[in-house]
Chain A
Amino acid sequence: AQRVTQPEKLLSVFKGAPVELKCNYSYSGSPELFWYVQYSRQRLQLLLRHISRESIKGFTADLNKGETSFHLKKPFAQEEDSAMYYCALNGRQGGSEKLVFGKGTKLTVNP
């Protein structure tokens, strides 16, 4: 079964502090992992994906197959990073590319 777990429902940090949003997944094959973000009153949008190994808005995420994790990190949080963050998995079963989402973590960056 495909499953994504985000253990923290809420995460609060101060501006300039490092932040790490945890994501663990369950999948028997080689999944594609993503982080989606939803800012207040905006639609869900892709933040980054493990395949591209890029840094977006200072965020990075490394796929650790041994620990089945894909944690999202940023060394210095900014107030504009406050948002809802969802980790998602694309199992590519049957070619559908449907996404399996975690329950999300609400990040609040305090001034």
Chain B
Amino acid sequence: DTGVSQNPRHKITKRGQNVTFRCDPISEHNRLYWYRQTLGQGPEFLTYFQNEAQLEKSRLLSDRFSAERPKGSFSTLEIQRTEQGDSAMYLCASSLFGTSLYNEQFFGPGTRLTVL
């Protein structure tokens, strides 16, 4: 296990197209988080899962965004009808919740989305 992986690493799309990103967490990690990072900003929370249940969504996550974690392992983040404002780095993180006082979030390398 080499850590959290994300695919693709880069995605260029035209405005109005749909895109889907995948995140593979560290094995056995039960929590999976999605963050978005735009230029000059720190990562911003989008949503998180505990196993297959999506427990919280940020107001940043418009109706065009949907995330799934169907079997409690990998997760997908889909953006429909992309807009130029969606251009950002999308980060995934995972953690093993419930085994210690604090559960470190391990981050993936991110998927950089450019919407033309």
Residues in A lying within 8 Å of B, measured CB to CB: 4, 9, 32, 43-46, 49, 51, 86, 88, 90, 94, 96-104
Contact = CB atoms under 8 A, between A and B. Distances in A.
A10 to B, nearest CB: 11
Given A43-B109, A44-B107, A45-B107, A86 B42 contact: yes
Contacts of A49: 102
Contact of B56 (A9, A98, A103): A98
A51 B95 contact: no
Query: Counting chain A CB atoms within 10 Å of each CB, which of B101, B105, B110 scores highest?
Result: B105
A88 B104 CA distance: 12
Contacts of B31: 97
B102 A88 contact: no
Contacts of B40: 9, 103
A9 B42 CA distance: 11
A41 B41 CA distance: 17
Interface size on B, as a range, is 20 to 34
A104 B41 CA distance: 7
A43 B110 contact: yes
Contacts of A100: 45
Given A98-B33, A98-B48, A103 B102 contact: no
Nearest to A36: B107
A99 B101 contact: no
Interface in B1-24: 3-4
B95 A97 contact: yes
B65 interface: no
Nearest to A46: B104
A44 B43 contact: yes
Contact of B55 (A44, A96, A102): A96
Given A32-B102, A45-B107, A51-B101, A98 B45 contact: yes
A88 B110 contact: no
Given A44-B91, A44-B107, A51 B45 contact: no
A74 to B, nearest CB: 21
